[in-house]
């Protein structure tokens, strides 16, 4: 601790540095949060552009605009960029901005590592995207990169992909260590665990999940690297290896990973529903236990992604039962949100609209998840558009709506200006309608038998695919409006008060808007 | 204008199939054609309706909340923040609903996992991007390739009804017999799916998975590969033709007879033109995916054949590559897939086409040479 006090003897840097060095060298949690958020926004548009290519190709049956090979590169990188580039960094950005202010800490516990964990991310994605300009093209084996398609049969650029994944993993692990350290050590006096805001709680648990599973992913890609370059046969059946082993390792990472992408959204939505219902969150304690149970269960359900690999029946049944169990804590959360609204005094500003849509559409995604958990029925659902519909319902109107809601909720705190409410509501309604036009019909084509990850399809799927594509184009365009709204609120808008929202509770609403560069240099007292 | 009309037509058809139940099959899982598929369909519908009821209750309650508790002047929102009895009640309720779902699912699962021997056992091997079917009892073996032509895929010719769901040679099975499938793969992971049988089983190199079916009615059933297996993943359909046991016997005998005829052809005297013509067809079906119609390939992964030194001047090496495949690359062995005549013909074709004739040694390969290669190996 003494080192920190010493550096304050030459007391001259209270504001940010000028120019580009402010962003390159910054150790300020707010600056780093901003960097993360802008980076994820850029990635959202890049991954979104790839989705537009996919939907243009699928607009009508027959070859449209890209080759099957390039189509595979698009769907792979759409997945990778959205998961690792858009959703995860957005949550880390929100964590950086909000967690220190929610717990009354002056900054993150490890500010220099914070800088490093952000700045290696653009490097990782630079490497990933550079593969498009190399011989053989970018990764084309799906974001799940099943061996041996991603090893013996992969384009030569797979080595760059592996390196990029390693760097992303390192970034996530450092980010998580930082968040855990901050939450455990830097809470304001009087803030016990069971008084911690829910966003902080969800992130604490998410960070533990990340630390547990990111090394597993690193292990998987390292084994791939060994198979490709050093003559091992981890996943090569001809050399005595096991291609299914890859899937077990991948999904042992992958299932907790999908909860990593939703738990912080639970936290955000809890705050927003509480604020705009003007009523304390219902069942705080059960919320915390529900998040913890979801996290623990996430480690024992992974093989429900693999019901068709030919597991023994005991395995099928075990993973079916554990997966169904997840519905219990998830259901508890949904009911808690509804009970928070019950007998409240609800107003419908943009963050609340997105949060209500989150609860409604996440419920649909949860219910289709329950259907997918039923192993024998999954023989028909597996790897069809029904699955695509399911996970987009939990990720787009789930995770992404959660992030958007959070951005609207805290934006006045960041910029000091209110965003344009009319434009915000327009953004919401266009997103809400088009997201359903895009993803709801996917349930139908999936049940009717359309496999996922195909660049062309049989004629009976043509009508729905056209509708899906139109919905996707509208949804994609609508997000440009979001960019405009954010830019507008940075430069203009009604001055926001400290509290911003009537009924907002928590330490972050006690500081001025925009939040000063340094907050809570003396810790507040929590009663 | 045409596009706008097309979009409207699509919207109208979609609305019609949803509201009038006109095309229920276009929006729901197929009940299929055997006991297992119907059982899985029933299970699906049960779970589906449970989910619809839960979803309707939750969303309905949300609408009620939104309407009833919107902010009014002088509102006093309640301040309660828990209700242990209520919370315990709904937690238990969820558990009960889940148990109701899990019980029938468990029984269906047990029936689906019956892997007793079949009356007919068929080994299915996934290759990039085709299926191989081997009838273990009858010693019949063949490959099944997509038969939709490139003109349809490139929107030059009108698309046929079974666009992308048709093959040159379907899997033929008899009705009313227990068929067991043994499913594996030769290169990457594929997945063999026929929705009407409710059979979807991953084809994994080094593993043999099992699945079974029994079909009561004659007919043609179509499915697709459902595991991403490379660039032509969308182009390896499954077509199964169920025929009466008598017709099945006839078909098996025909296949055996054809095999004998094929062997005799290696003795025949072949002209360059005949081989070239056969070779062109073989090339279109088996080689264009990687080496392309113009022989230019897609370097660096799929090398060019046009102007390749190996193709121009090294006949022996070319035969070896066709017969053995290339270690560590996508090129597989065609010794099993193609007849001696086809292999000789396709090599001849590549040595004559795209101007290779003029720049290389121009020698052709006759089926006898392939047969000799095989015999020497023994």
In the three-class reduction of DSSP (H, G, I as helix; E, B as strand; rest coil), residue A370 is classed as: helix
The pLDDT of residue A11: 47
The pLDDT of residue B336: 80
Strand partners, B213: B179
Interface test with A, best of B146, B301, B303 (most A CBs within 10 A): B301
Does domain B120-150+162-261 fall under CATH 3.40.50.720? My reply is no
Under CATH, which number does the domain A33-509 receive? 1.20.210.10
The pLDDT of residue A5: 47
Rounded to the nearest 5 degrees, what angle is found at the Cα of B224, between the Cα atoms of B218 and B228? 160
Is residue A166 among the annotated active site residues?
no
Phi, psi torsion values for A359, nearest 5 degrees? -60, -45
What ipTM is given for this predicted complex?
0.91
Q: Are strands B120-127 and B130-135 parallel, antiparallel or unpaired?
A: antiparallel
**Annotated domain spans of chain A:** 33-509
The pLDDT of residue B24: 66
DSSP assignment of A304-321, as one string? GGGTTS---HHHHHHHHH
Q: Taking all residues of chain A, what is their mean pLDDT, rounded to a whole number? A: 94
Q: Which of A172, A322, A355, A368 is catalytic?
A: A172
The pLDDT of residue B27: 86
The pLDDT of residue B328: 67
A3 has a pLDDT exceeding 70:
no
pTM of the predicted model as reported, rounded to 2 decimal places: 0.90
Interface test with A, best of B46, B81, B192, B327 (most A CBs within 10 A): B81
Q: pLDDT tens across B121-161, in order?
A: 999 999 999 999 999 998 898 999 999 988 899 999 999 99
DSSP assignment of B62-86, as one string? HHHHHHHTB--TT---------HHH
Of B25, B226, B234, the CB nearest to A456: B234
**Annotated domain spans of chain B:** 24-60+84-113, 120-150+162-261, 266-377
The pLDDT of residue A167: 97
Task: Work out the minimum CA distance from A408 to partner chain B, whole angstroms.
Answer: 20
d(CA B190, CA A23): 47
The pLDDT of residue B22: 45
Interface test with A, best of B94, B107, B293 (most A CBs within 10 A): B94
The pLDDT of A22-43, averaged and rounded, is: 96
Q: Are A63 and B153 in contact (CB under 8 A)?
A: yes
Domains B120-150+162-261 and B266-377 share a fold: no
Of B11, B128, B154, the CB nearest to A63: B154
The pLDDT of residue A9: 44
Strand partners, B238: B223
Is residue A270 among the annotated active site residues?
yes
A14 has a pLDDT exceeding 70:
no
B183: closest chain A residue by CA: A310
Question: Where are any strands of DSSP class E within chain B?
Answer: 120-127, 130-135, 140-144, 171-174, 179-185, 190-194, 199-203, 209-213, 219-225, 237-243
Q: pLDDT tens across A308-335, in order?
A: 999 999 999 999 999 999 999 999 999 9
A497 has a pLDDT exceeding 60:
yes
A7 has a pLDDT exceeding 80:
no
Q: pLDDT tens across A53-85, in order?
A: 999 999 999 999 999 999 999 999 999 999 999
A145 has a pLDDT exceeding 90:
yes
Q: pLDDT tens across A355-367, in order?
A: 999 999 999 999 9
Rounded to the nearest 5 degrees, what angle is found at the Cα of A63, between the Cα atoms of B278 and A49? 145
Which residues of chain B register pLDDT less than 50? 20-22
- Cβ pair B223:A449 closer than 8 A: yes
Does domain B266-377 fall under CATH 3.60.110.10? My reply is no
Measured between beta carbons, which residues in chain B are less than 8 angstroms from residue A454?
Answer: 224, 233-234
Task: For residue A58, give the nearest of A365, A498, A499, A461 by alpha carbon.
Answer: A461
The pLDDT of residue A294: 95
Q: In what order do the strands lie in the sheet with B179-185?
A: B140-144, B130-135, B120-127, B179-185, B209-213
- Cβ pair B30:A441 closer than 8 A: no
Measured between beta carbons, which residues in chain B are less than 8 angstroms from residue A277?
Answer: 69, 77
């Amino acid at each position: 601790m003494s080192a920190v006090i010493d550096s304050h003897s030459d007391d001259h840097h209270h504001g940010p540095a000028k120019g580009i060095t402010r962003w390159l060298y910054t150790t300020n949690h707010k600056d780093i949060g901003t960097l993360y958020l802008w980076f994820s926004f850029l990635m959202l548009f890049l991954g979104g552009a790839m989705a537009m290519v996919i939907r243009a190709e699928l607009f009508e049956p027959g070859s449209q605009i890209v080759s099957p090979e390039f189509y595979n590169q698009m769907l792979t990188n759409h997945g990778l960029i959205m998961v690792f580039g858009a959703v995860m960094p957005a949550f880390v950005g929100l964590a950086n901005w909000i967690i220190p202010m929610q717990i009354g800490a002056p900054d993150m516990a490890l500010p220099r590592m914070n800088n490093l964990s952000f700045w290696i991310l653009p490097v990782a994605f630079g490497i990933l995207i550079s593969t498009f300009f190399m011989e053989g093209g970018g990764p084309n084996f799906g974001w799940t990169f099943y061996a041996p398609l991603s090893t013996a049969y992969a384009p030569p650029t797979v080595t760059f992909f592996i390196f990029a994944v390693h760097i992303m993993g390192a970034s996530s692990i450092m980010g998580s260590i930082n968040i855990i350290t901050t939450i455990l050590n830097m809470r304001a006096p009087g803030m016990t665990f069971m008084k911690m805001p829910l966003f902080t709680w969800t992130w604490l648990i998410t960070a533990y999940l990340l630390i547990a599973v990111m090394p597993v992913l690193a292990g998987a890609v390292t084994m791939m690297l060994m198979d490709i370059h050093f003559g091992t046969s981890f996943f090569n059946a001809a050399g005595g290896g096991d291609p299914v082993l890859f899937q077990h390792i991948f999904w042992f990472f992958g299932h907790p990973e999908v909860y990593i992408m939703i738990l912080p959204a639970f936290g955000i939505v809890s705050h927003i529903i509480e604020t705009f219902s003007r009523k304390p969150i219902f069942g705080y304690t059960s919320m915390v236990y529900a998040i913890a149970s979801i996290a623990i269960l996430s480690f024992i359900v992974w093989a429900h992604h693999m019901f068709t690999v030919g597991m023994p029946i005991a395995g099928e049944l075990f993973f079916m039962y554990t997966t169904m169990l997840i519905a219990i804590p998830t259901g508890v959360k949904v009911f808690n949100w509804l009970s928070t609204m019950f007998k409240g005094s609800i107003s419908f500003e943009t963050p609340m609209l997105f949060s209500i849509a989150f609860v409604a559409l996440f419920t649909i995604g949860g219910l289709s998840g329950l259907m997918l958990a039923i192993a024998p029925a999954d023989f028909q659902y597996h790897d069809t558009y029904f699955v695509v519909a399911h996970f987009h319902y939990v990720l787009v109107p789930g995770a992404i709506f959660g992030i958007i809601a959070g951005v609207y909720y805290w934006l006045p705190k960041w910029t000091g200006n209110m965003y344009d409410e009319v434009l915000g509501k327009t953004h919401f309604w266009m997103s809400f309608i088009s997201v359903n036009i895009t993803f709801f019909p996917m349930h139908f084509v999936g049940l009717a038998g359309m496999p996922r990850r195909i660049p062309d399809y049989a004629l009976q799927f043509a009508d729905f695919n056209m509708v899906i594509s139109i919905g996707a184009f509208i949804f994609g365009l609508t997000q440009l409006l979001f960019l405009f709204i954010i830019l507008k609120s940075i430069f203009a808008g009604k001055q926001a008060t400290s509290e911003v929202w009537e009924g907002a509770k928590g330490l972050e609403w006690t500081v001025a808007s925009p939040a000063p560069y340094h907050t809570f240099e003396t810790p507040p007292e929590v009663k | 204008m045409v596009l706008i009309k097309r979009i409207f037509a699509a919207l109208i058809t979609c609305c019609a199939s949803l509201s009038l139940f006109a095309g229920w099959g276009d929006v729901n899982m197929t009940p299929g054609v055997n006991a297992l598929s119907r059982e899985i369909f029933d299970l699906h519908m049960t779970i589906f309706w449970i989910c619809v009821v839960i979803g309707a209750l939750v969303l309905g309650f949300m609408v009620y909340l939104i309407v009833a508790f919107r902010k009014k002047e002088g509102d006093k929102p309640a301040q309660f923040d828990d209700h242990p009895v209520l919370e315990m009640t709904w937690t238990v309720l969820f558990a009960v609903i889940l148990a109701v779902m899990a019980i029938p699912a468990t029984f269906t699962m047990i029936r689906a996992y019956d892997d007793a021997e079949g009356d007919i056992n068929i080994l299915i091997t996934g290759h990039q991007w085709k299926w191989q079917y081997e009838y273990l009892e009858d010693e019949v073996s063949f490959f099944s390739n997509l038969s939709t032509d490139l003109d349809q895929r490139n929107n030059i010719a009108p698309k046929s009804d079974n666009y992308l769901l048709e093959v040159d040679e379907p899997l033929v099975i008899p009705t009313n017999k227990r068929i067991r499938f043994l499913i594996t793969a030769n290169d990457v992971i594929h997945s063999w799916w026929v929705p009407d049988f409710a059979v979807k089983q991953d084809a994994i190199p080094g593993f043999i998975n099992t699945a079974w079916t029994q079909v009561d009615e004659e007919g043609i059933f179509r499915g697709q590969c459902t595991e991403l297996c490379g660039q032509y993943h969308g182009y390896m359909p499954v077509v199964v033709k169920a025929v009466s046991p008598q017709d099945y016997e006839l078909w098996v005998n025909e296949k055996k007879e054809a095999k004998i005829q094929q062997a005799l052809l290696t003795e025949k005297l072949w002209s360059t033109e005949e081989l070239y013509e056969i070779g062109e067809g073989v090339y279109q079906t088996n080689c264009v995916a990687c080496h392309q119609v113009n022989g230019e390939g897609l370097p660096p992964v799929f090398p060019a054949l046009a102007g390749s030194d190996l193709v121009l001047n090294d006949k022996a090496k070319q035969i070896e590559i066709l017969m053995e495949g290339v270690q560590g690359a996508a090129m597989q062995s065609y010794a099993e897939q193609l007849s001696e005549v086809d292999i000789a013909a396709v090599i001849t074709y590549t040595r004559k086409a795209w101007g290779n004739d003029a720049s290389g040694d121009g020698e052709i390969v006759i089926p006898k040479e392939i047969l000799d290669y095989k015999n020497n190996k023994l």
